[in-house]
Amino acid sequence: MEEITKKDLLILTGISYGQLYRWKRKGLIPEEWFIKRASFTGQETYFPKDLILDRIDKILELKDEVSLEELSEIINKKQSEKEITINDLKETNLFFNQEVFDLYEKETIGFNHVVLLKLMDNIYHIVEEKEELKNFYQFISKYAKDILNDYKEIYFITSNDKLTSIFVKDSNNLEYQVDDILKVNLKNLIDNIKLIVMV
């Protein structure tokens, strides 16, 4: 994963140290993204570039409409039971492939299923056989709660039109030698959806 130093991040985004650490304090930027490492100019903090830039964009975009306290509550609280209508969800522009809505049959949708649908959306382009996608969706919607609460990452591999998924609880010691792999970090996915859907 490409990394960016704290200094470059501030220059690139125009935010201040104070803002960065205020957002960390409020839980809007996860502590794991602050990677401390020794460098020739002493200790330097690095960030996963894509993740942090994406998150800062979202916070800057939302911060005029929603207070930091509210944002912090949205991202840190347990997923609400509140359901929203499919039409409202379609209007968020969260989805690239409108076809995934066909997978869901009801009129209203809870947060967990929004995450699952978004997951389908993210893997849509790697699955050629759409019947596979449907089977997989039926499988994960059955265990939605367990998957979203217990697992950190999902890896997807396709071969011969078959979709294989690996659910991972702790990815620190995972090594793999497969070229076509799609990795989804569940927590980041959930947090990003919260910032879009719940605001």
Partner 1 sequence: MSEEKNVITVNGMMRSPGNLDCDEVDVNGMFKINGDLTSQKLKGNGLVKITGSVKVDHVKMNGSLKVNGDMETQSVQVGGLIKANSIISEEIKISGKLGIKNNINCDAFKLDLAGNSKVQNIEGSSVEVKQRKIKNHFLKVNTITADDIDIEHVTCDTVSGDKVKIGKGCIIKNLTYMTSLEVDPDAVVKNSEKAV
Question: Applying CB under 8 A, which residues contact partner 1?
Answer: 6-7, 10-11, 16-19, 21-22, 24-25, 41-45
Number of helices followed by number of strands (H, E) in the chain: 9, 8
Smallest separation, CB 172 to partner 1 (Å): 21
Smallest separation, CB 63 to partner 1 (Å): 16
How many C-beta neighbours within 10 Å does residue 176 have? 10
Smallest separation, CB 157 to partner 1 (Å): 39
Q: Under 8 Å CB-to-CB from 141, ≥6 apart: which residues?
A: 113, 116
CA distances, 162 to each of 99, 117, 153, 184 (Å) = 20, 19, 20, 18
Please list the residues that pair with 182 across neighbouring strands: 156
Smallest separation, CB 28 to partner 1 (Å): 13
How many C-beta neighbours within 10 Å does residue 20 have? 20
Q: Specify the residue, 25 or 162, whose C-beta has the smaller distance to partner 1.
A: 25
Q: Specify the residue, 3 or 44, whose C-beta has the smaller distance to partner 1.
A: 44
Q: Specify the residue, 12 or 174, whose C-beta has the smaller distance to partner 1.
A: 12
Q: Specify the residue, 56 or 147, whose C-beta has the smaller distance to partner 1.
A: 56
